Amino acid sequence: MEYKVEITDIFSLTHDVKRITTKKPEGYSFEPGQATEVAINLPGYTDKKRPFTFTSLPDDNHLEFIIKSYRDHNGVTNEIGSLVTGNSLIIGDSWGAISYKGKGTFIAGGAGVTPFISIFRELASKNELTGNKLLFANKTGKDVILESAFQDMLRDNFISVLSRENIEGHEYGHIDMEFLKIHLEGYSQQFYICGPDKMVKNISELLQKMGANTDALVFEK
């Protein structure tokens, strides 16, 4: 089923990431971590659907998406960066394999952090966030989405790593085996992984080599 939802607010979070808030269809539901297919309700874009994750909470009276624009691509995300309040999106039903299955380590690359935002917000609202950790990989400091929010929610359990910039408050390098050995407290826990396909595949394989249970790896299949 398709729904047209009016954009009520747009806010820039980073140089290429915007938070887009829309009206919520009556009776619409999703679970934290889930996504939907989104198209822009403008000529030439209504049939160009892309998956985006809900970053609001299921009980909110609005929907929220945090979307990165790829300005070097003449496509949907670039056009989304040009939208204004009053424009509308076309969304489908909710779907997705990423859901909270217990305390563990969340590993994200870039905009791949978005499925975890609603999960963290819901856990925080229930005072159940303690014991979870986020390892968040980006290229530079200006690319880190919701850095202060993650610091507030997770404190020392938020670890940012940058691959192209060595600055205070962030680790430098990549999420590889040595990085995981330093920052993981054992492997009998849940692991939630989201980011570029190659990153998800590599980290999943590393974790299994290091002793993680295949059934404890949660990612979009």
Averaged confidence pLDDT in the chain: 95
Predicted local confidence at residue 74, as pLDDT: 63
Q: Which residues pair with 63 in a beta bridge?
A: 22
Predicted local confidence at residue 115, as pLDDT: 97
Residue 3 has pLDDT above 90, yes or no: yes
The secondary structure of residue 47, as a DSSP letter, is T
Predicted local confidence at residue 172, as pLDDT: 97
> 3-class DSSP state for residue 202?
helix
Pick the CATH number of 3-91 from 3.40.710.10, 2.40.30.10, 3.60.15.10, 1.10.1060.10: 2.40.30.10
Predicted local confidence at residue 69, as pLDDT: 87
Predicted local confidence at residue 72, as pLDDT: 62
CB 6 within 8 A of CB 22: yes
Predicted local confidence at residue 181, as pLDDT: 96
Per-residue pLDDT band for 70 (boundaries 50, 70, 90) equals: confident
* Cα–Cα distance list, 151 to 134, 143, 146 (Å): 10, 15, 9
Percent over 90 (pLDDT), the chain: 92
Per-residue pLDDT band for 77 (boundaries 50, 70, 90) equals: confident
Predicted local confidence at residue 73, as pLDDT: 60
> Cα–Cα distance between 113 and 31 in angstroms, integer?
16
**Residues belonging to the chain:** 221
Percent over 70 (pLDDT), the chain: 98
Predicted local confidence at residue 89, as pLDDT: 98
110 φ, ψ to 5°? 55, -130
Pick the CATH number of 104-218 from 3.40.50.970, 3.40.50.2000, 3.40.50.300, 3.40.50.80: 3.40.50.80
> Cα–Cα distance between 44 and 59 in angstroms, integer?
33
What does the pLDDT look like over 96-117, one tens digit per residue?
999 999 999 999 999 999 999 9
What does the pLDDT look like over 113-150, one tens digit per residue?
999 999 999 999 999 999 999 999 999 999 999 999 99
> 3-class DSSP state for residue 54?
strand
Domain with CATH 2.40.30.10 in the chain: 3-91
**Straight-line distance from the first to the last Cα atom of the chain, in angstroms, rounded to the nearest whole number:** 22
CB 86 within 8 A of CB 154: no
Residue 61 has pLDDT above 70, yes or no: yes
> Which residue is it, tokens 């880190």?
144
Per-residue pLDDT band for 75 (boundaries 50, 70, 90) equals: confident
Structure tokens at 8: 């009520």
Domain with CATH 3.40.50.80 in the chain: 104-218
63 HSE (CA, 13 A, CB side): 31
